[in-house]
Chains A and B, each alone.
Chain A
């Protein structure tokens, strides 16, 4: 660890300690906003962890978020909270491993299509199960978790995700993934077990998303499939990661923070035209910032303008 890394580590630690005091400000609105910011930061960073290096566009964020939220809805009152979180994480990992094993052998567009529909599929299965087996559609979530608790848990998860992402990037796995992102055929010929590398990272990223869903669940008192599996989350996370730049660990944050604030503002002021504005922002990002803010930043700081790789894709 050189001096620069140590400096960054100290700064990051200081930032996290400072951020830990946000609930002490006592303003409910800012706390809610901070929770949204953290939620999307973790989701977008987790998305970028897998999709950034491999360039597989995943639209399954909502599926895992929903699995986490629903685990809490079902088990939240029965079991102690840490155990519920553990079960949620395990469920997310199992689903991700199954999905990964069956679809990651397929490349490019097939993957997008499958993840595109996976949320809908899981939602249908949950609805079917609730209607036919448990005979309720919609559950009440009564757990003893305050807004400040949610905030601190998300903050801890954020720290964990960044640490994990940093460790992975320095490991053999991270290197394997970058080779896959550059050229999957070359990676195979180098003796990299591409399927294992992709499934492993997909599972890690999905477990984090599931945990976010579980942590966020107590925010609603009432949960039903259309709330937990709201496909808008996948889309927003994708836009955020793209705007920030998914080829860097810290890239998605650069998109998540401004866009969360913007969406907050827009959905309050222009609820009816929100979708149109969302689409226009998306198009602007695709056309004007193909490598995200992080890419722009690198281009400006590197005088040669030579950058590596393309945007997460």
Chain B
């Protein structure tokens, strides 16, 4: 039982980390990024390449991959998404346009990775030894990833609630029009937040690659998980992200160990639907929609 719960918590922490970037991108920049999982896999490949080719540890790799992802996502927002933001007459139209555009982007990125790396599964061995934790044996890489996840989450939470820029970002999330009235540069804040979300998913990709096998086409699964967590938790809500991620991870791990490993996705969807039917705005969402 302890083992199942511990596995579930680690899994849930990973889901929360993966969903953090998406909740920023969707909650603040209003971009429903369907190519989100592809960015995660791209970062995982980058980490794999750095580790096997240059013997750079994934934790050091973070310092390389994350700023690069930030710059790349900033460019994507400026070049690819700004025209859509200008064209859209309202928020709903932007949402649909961004879904379609990032959907196309998914294929481009996935196709490029398939051409570069083929369809095979990749993994590498990093910190792959067992350690004792709370009386249970767990893999060191998972524990290390969990530690970094908690650290990242904490830093992000403090940055959003304790700094001036973070307050501005939260203001844009609440009401972009009112935010402009108090001299917040909304387009700039949106672009930076989108890039920050991209940086977070890159960090998630690097961490995930240390203990999961991945292939060029497994991005969709991560997009799905992230979307479910974001919507369940309430769009744009960090605490909701954490709670929903943990709930998903725990339920998945419990079902896998006590019912049937083949039914984890069914459980994901049952939870997702149950939450939406009871609270359409998500667990911590404001009922604005």
Contact = CB atoms under 8 A, between A and B. Distances in A.
A313 B114 CA distance: 30
Contacts of B289: 107-108
Interface string B77-94: 000000100010000110
B12 to A, nearest CB: 18
A275 B96 contact: no
B32 A279 contact: no
B262 interface: yes
A124 B266 contact: yes
Contacts, number: 118
Contacts of B83: 287
Contacts of A121: 265-266, 269
A57 B32 CA distance: 13
Contacts of A107: 289
Nearest to B100: A286
Contacts of A131: 262
Interface of A: 55, 57, 102-103, 105-110, 112-114, 116-118, 120-121, 124-125, 127-128, 131-132, 231, 235, 238, 242, 272-283, 285-287, 290, 310, 313
B224 interface: yes
B60 interface: no
Nearest to A99: B273
A275 to B, nearest CB: 3
Interface stretch (B66-74, B102-110, B147-155, B237-245): B102-110
Given A108-B92, A313-B97, A120 B32 contact: no
Nearest to A277: B111
A132 to B, nearest CB: 7
Given A110-B231, A128-B260, A313 B107 contact: no
B285 to A, nearest CB: 11
CB-CB nearest 7 A-B residue pairs: A279-B107, A275-B111, A276-B111, A282-B104, A279-B108, A313-B96, A283-B104
Given A117-B224, A131-B262, A272-B115, A282 B95 contact: no
> Which label, helix, strand, loop or mixed, suits the secondary structure of the A interface?
helix
A310 B110 CA distance: 29
Contacts of A109: 26, 32, 95, 99, 231
B195 to A, nearest CB: 20
Given A57-B100, A117-B228, A282-B104, 20 more contacts: A57-B96, A105-B280, A109-B26, A109-B95, A114-B272, A116-B34, A124-B266, A127-B262, A238-B103, A272-B114, A272-B115, A275-B107, A276-B108, A278-B111, A283-B104, A286-B100, A287-B83, A287-B101, A290-B87, A313-B93
Contact of A128 (B32, B103, B109, B262): B262
6 contacts: A121-B266, A125-B266, A235-B103, A275-B110, A276-B108, A279-B109
B128 interface: no
A117 B277 CA distance: 17
A238 B96 CA distance: 13
B178 interface: no
Contacts of A124: 262-263, 265-266
